[in-house]
Amino acid sequence: MKEMETKMIYFTVNGKPEQAEFSVDCPAQDVKDLFRSAAEAGPHDILKLYNPKGNIINISPNLEPNHPNSCYKLEVVASDCNNEPLGVELAGALGFDLSSMEKRLQGLEKKILFEAGGTPAVIYEMKKQVDSFREKLESVEHLSWLGLYKDLSEETHKPSPFYHKRTLHKTKEECDHVRDKFLKMCSLEVSEEVRQYLKTPTFDNWQWEDAEIMVLLQVMYADLDFIAIYNIEPEVLQQFLFEVYRRYNNIPFHNFKHCFCVTQMMYGLIWLTDLRSKMDSIDLLIMLTSAICHDLDHTGYNNAYQINARTELALRYNDISPLENHHCAVAFEILEKTESNIFRNVSLDLYKHIREGIIKCILATDMTSHNEILNKFKSILSHFDFTNKDHRDVLMMILIKVSDISNEARPMEVAEPWLDCLLQEFYNQSDVEKLEGLPVTPFMDRDKITKPSSQTGFIRFVLLPLFIELANLFPCLEQHIIDPVRKALDYYTEMEKALEREKQTRVQCEKAAKSKEMPVEQQSIEPKAQ
């Protein structure tokens, strides 16, 4: 057999000398692939080969053989996907494929969940594989040319696991378990002591599990006489509460426990202000039910995200309060089903009134309209008239708004974990915004805010101004909601100062370390105990 004639080509790539050998009659594609692999380039990168004169030459089997001292120069274009259109396209397509794969799996899982009542092992395995594939694409440096690589070496945190494992919706198992527990507990009597405690803002939600919380919500409907007045059947109320529970998602803040806290604060305010003597019970029913439904199916990403990411919700509602519109729509989805329609025994006219009221209340929880609602309330305060429907409407909106953001009116042991939950949800959103290249909401950026600094600002400029106006109408609220909020302000102001002192000490230690010309990391930066 005749020995094949080969060529030796000497070239540099990134200044590193390389040599390639190929047979003169091998296919052109093979030669191109050879250079591609020498440059560690991806299939969509452009390769340029220069001769010593600086002219671009064709990469082909006809390449002129050369000597090591007259090297060709190989260059890769479009290896950095963030700067190059080709790379962006590829990464986009890949990211899209991955998301569509995840979506299809999610759909498949849902379907099977419905039919089989559980996630089969095979789907679970597939989900794990897609997850680990995404992780690989994002974490393996030599795949960085795909444009999905995230350099985590400089980050102090990993993006939240929520981004990968979207076990957003409650599983059937989870729901069935809580439903069984709830139905078993329904027949038990709730003590008078608990019934009274339930009427105060000092109530600690963290002591109660979800099934118990559902019983407490039932108690609220009973003790405000709604069950008797509106002829609500116990099974229908239970089914309604279960559907509500089911449609709050597993997210850090806007979950079923938040729904309960807001409702419980509303309930407390109704009792503390003796609202039953001032307003019709129908308005109280609207307020309590609005509180229960006000964040249904929240996914943990706010309106700004919905709009910037052009989510289904933003498209459906034309960027107008997409979340609040959705919460409200889900509420009426639940109420459309006879078996969970707690208003099924009221007249059509009354139902219309309730529907109008709930829509008004839930849409009022969009903080975008905060100033508008607060200013309206201020303008009517001096001549507030409980017989005036417009006045009552504004008050109802103020009450749900107050309840919605009232965590800091609770004891510190109850309030502080809620702030941690909220920041976790916010940080998760900003992480995702960074990953998706969307504008990062400044107050959600973990690199920009601290817990005490954000909270002191919020209490000073949002909470107190709102609460003080409500206390103008109901002076008795001062001790119940304003005093604890002032205490919280002191607490976070102190925390802010302590953080500032810690930072100062750190800076001084680093300066001292530098002046001794010793690497900082060899010195303790902790302030010495006194």
Q: Which is nearer to ligand BYE, 230 or 427 (CB)?
A: 427
List the single partner that 367 binds among ligand BYE, Zn ion, none, CB under 5 to 8 Å by kind: ligand BYE
Nearest CA to 20 out of 47, 53, 55 is that of 47
Q: Which is nearer to ligand BYE, 283 or 408 (CB)?
A: 408
CB of 513 to ligand BYE, least distance (A): 34
Q: Which is nearer to Zn ion, 13 or 331 (CB)?
A: 331
CA atoms within 13 A on the CB side of 321: 20
Query: Of these residues, 254, 294, 298, 327, which one is catalytic?
Result: 254
Place of tokens 């094949």: 4
Does 454 sit near ligand BYE (CB under 6 A)? yes
List the single partner that 295 binds among ligand BYE, Zn ion, none, CB under 5 to 8 Å by kind: Zn ion
Nearest CA to 293 out of 253, 324, 252 is that of 324
Cα separation, 328 vs 362, in Å, equals 6
User: CA-CA-CA-CA torsion for 401, 407, 408, 409, nearest 10 degrees?
Assistant: 70
Q: Kindly give the pairing relationship between strand 72-77 and strand 16-23.
A: unpaired
List the single partner that 273 binds among ligand BYE, Zn ion, none, CB under 5 to 8 Å by kind: none
Q: Which is nearer to ligand BYE, 12 or 450 (CB)?
A: 450
CB of 268 to Zn ion, least distance (A): 16
Does 496 sit near Zn ion (CB under 5 A)? no
CB of 254 to ligand BYE, least distance (A): 7
Q: Is 254 part of the annotated catalytic residue set?
A: yes
In angstroms, what CA-CA distances link 426 with 86, 253, 287, 412, 444?
A: 33, 9, 27, 21, 5
CB of 16 to ligand BYE, least distance (A): 49
CB of 116 to ligand BYE, least distance (A): 37
Q: Which is nearer to ligand BYE, 217 or 423 (CB)?
A: 423
**Non-local CB neighbours of 275 within 8 Å, separated by 6+ positions:** 269, 284
In angstroms, what CA-CA distances link 489 with 18, 445, 464, 503?
A: 66, 22, 10, 21
CB of 207 to ligand BYE, least distance (A): 20
Within positions 380 to 409, which residues make up the interface with Zn ion, using CB under 5 A? 404
CB of 306 to ligand BYE, least distance (A): 13
Does 432 sit near ligand BYE (CB under 6 A)? no
Whether residue 190 contacts residue 216, with contact meaning beta carbons closer than 8 Å, is answered with: yes
Residue 11: strand pairing partners: 18, 72
Q: Binder to ligand BYE among 458, 493, 506, 525 (CB under 6 A)?
A: 458
**Non-local CB neighbours of 79 within 8 Å, separated by 6+ positions:** 41, 42, 45, 87, 145
- Tell me the per-residue interface mask from 262 to 301 with ligand BYE, x by CB under 6 A, - otherwise: ----------------------------------------
List the single partner that 244 binds among Zn ion, ligand BYE, none, CB under 5 to 8 Å by kind: none
Q: Which residue is nearest to ligand BYE (CB)?
A: 454
- Number of other residues whose CB lies within 10 A of the CB of residue 483: 12
List the single partner that 433 binds among Zn ion, ligand BYE, none, CB under 5 to 8 Å by kind: none
Q: Token digits for 403?
A: 């309840």
Q: What share of the chain is helix, strand, coil (3-state, %, to 5)?
A: 65, 5, 30
List the single partner that 407 binds among Zn ion, ligand BYE, none, CB under 5 to 8 Å by kind: ligand BYE
- The secondary structure of 41-64, three-state, reads CCCCCEEEEECCCCCEECCCCCCC
Within positions 266 to 325, which residues make up the interface with Zn ion, using CB under 5 A? 295
Cα separation, 231 vs 344, in Å, equals 9
> Could you tell me how many residues of this chain bind ligand BYE (CB under 6 A)?
12
Cα separation, 395 vs 378, in Å, equals 10
In angstroms, what CA-CA distances link 515 with 41, 504, 511?
A: 46, 17, 6
Q: Binder to ligand BYE among 96, 197, 443, 461 (CB under 6 A)?
A: 443
Does 408 sit near ligand BYE (CB under 6 A)? yes
For residue 79, which amino acid is it?
S
List the single partner that 443 binds among Zn ion, ligand BYE, none, CB under 5 to 8 Å by kind: ligand BYE
List the single partner that 430 binds among ligand BYE, Zn ion, none, CB under 5 to 8 Å by kind: none
Q: Token digits for 274?
A: 């003796």
Q: Binder to ligand BYE among 59, 361, 419, 470 (CB under 6 A)?
A: 419
Does 403 sit near ligand BYE (CB under 6 A)? no
Q: Which residues bind Zn ion (CB under 5 A)?
A: 295, 404
Give the residue numbers marked as catalytic: 254
Q: Which residues bind ligand BYE (CB under 6 A)?
A: 367, 405, 407-408, 419, 422-423, 426, 443, 454-455, 458
